[in-house]
Structure 1
Amino acid sequence: MSGHERPSRLNRALLAATGLLLLACAGFALGTRFAVLDVLPPDGHLLPGDPAPPTWVWYATAACGVVLGLLALRWLVAQVIREPKAHQWRFDTDTGRTGLAASTATAPLLAETETYPGVLAARGTLAGTRANPALALVITTEQDAEPGAIRHALAARGVPRLRRALDLEDLPTTVEFRFTGEAGPRLGVPTADPTAQRGGG
């Protein structure tokens, strides 16, 4: 396991432990309420003492529960990989209209990206319209890869080449790196054309 993966795995482990603890507490409360568990009397007080807690305590408890539920839901949504929806690009030519699948358009860029030192795999999604395009790349690399060098190569060579092939003035690009525990040799990314900078991610 690489150092880049430890925080996310620890985060998931803590969240999983918290979820199991809350489920155990809820199960205990329901089991006690319906007399499935004989640990506490179902009609016993939750807190010591005879007087019931003030009404605001119940409202505060309910509010905290709602906030925790919303935070947990937000975290679940964040786990989903959000990639723009791909579609077929259409080009108007002298002989009519030509269709090009987004996956076909990005295939040369992904193949080139996988040749960069340290890159194990690359996938991407080209979405949006010609007036508002969007490119999302997910690159899996070795543990000791250099993301800065990979991004520079994409900005200087790969993305501008795709932009010119699609005849786009600009191509906003997002890049997500995923690191593995596999280490590889340290090599430099091929020098790019310094004049082709437009449209980098």
Structure 2
Amino acid sequence: MTSLNRPARLNRVLLLMTGLVMLAATAFVTGVCLQIVTAVAPGSALVPGTQLPPPWVLYVVAGAAVVVAGLAARWLLAQLARAPKSTTWHFGDDTGQTSLDPGAAVAPLLDEVKDLPGVADARGTLAGKQGSPTLALVITADQEGNPTEIRRHLAETALPRLRQALDIADLPTTVEFRFAARAPERVR
């Protein structure tokens, strides 16, 4: 079962819709200014009449503006949360040089975690410099998955094996568990 990344999909859809609305509004206003669109005269009033709207309308508009501004600020802050930067590790001596991509170093650990019972998917990033690396794991578990057993396997087997392969004594690790959405039952 695959887990959907709903926040990223929603983010893309909202950005696309906002961009399309802005493009349409820009095209309309440009068309009116250049007198290509004749449905509206360039000097005409935006709304009929010259009276102010009732006070409650102004409050609703101000409240909506505050909500939209808050959502925009929250979205901007979410963009700052980035995965840690990973760099290529270099090992060398008099006989030659070896380069190790952190993704290649973590791939066997991720394959092992994906094979555990109750794990739907696993992603990870080995970041930091060679002397002080950190490992960030995101594990998507099925509804039947047991995070305690998965964490125990990581601590007792998988992470010691990775530390030994990388020849490092300490590897600070963060593990984030996500749960896959249950597939809807089929009606026959």
TM-score range, shorter chain: 0.5 to 0.7
| CA shift digits 1:169-194 (9 cap, x unpaired) | 422234456665576xxxxxxxxxxx
Matches within 5 A, 1:79-158: 82-90=83-91, 99=98, 101=100, 102-139=102-139, 141-142=141-142, 144-147=144-147, 149-158=149-158
Change (3 A) 1:16 1:43: same
2:20 corresponds in structure 1 to: 20
Q: Which secondary structure does the structure 1 equivalent of 2:124 belong to?
A: strand
**Alpha carbons 1:84, 1:136 under 8 Å: kept:** no
2:40 corresponds in structure 1 to: 40
Cα offset for 1:10?
Answer: 4.6
Unpaired stretches in structure 1, ≥5 consecutive residues = 51-63, 184-201
Give the whole-Å Cα distance in 1 for the aligned partners of 2:146 and 2:80. 26
Change (3 A) 1:118 1:35: farther
AA aligned to 1:111 is D
AA aligned to 2:162 is L
AA aligned to 1:113 is V
Change (3 A) 1:182 1:83: farther
1:162 corresponds in structure 2 to: 162
Larger proportion of helix: 2
**Alpha carbons 2:139, 2:178 under 8 Å: kept:** yes
Unpaired stretches in structure 2, ≥5 consecutive residues = 52-65, 184-188
Cα offset for 1:105?
Answer: 3.0
**Alpha carbons 2:121, 2:141 under 8 Å: kept:** yes
TM-score (norm 1): 0.55
**Alpha carbons 2:3, 2:140 under 8 Å: kept:** no
Change (3 A) 1:20 1:11: same
AA aligned to 2:161 is R
Fraction of identical pairs, as percent: 40
AA aligned to 2:157 is R
Change (3 A) 1:6 1:135: closer
Q: Which secondary structure does the structure 2 equivalent of 1:31 belong to?
A: helix
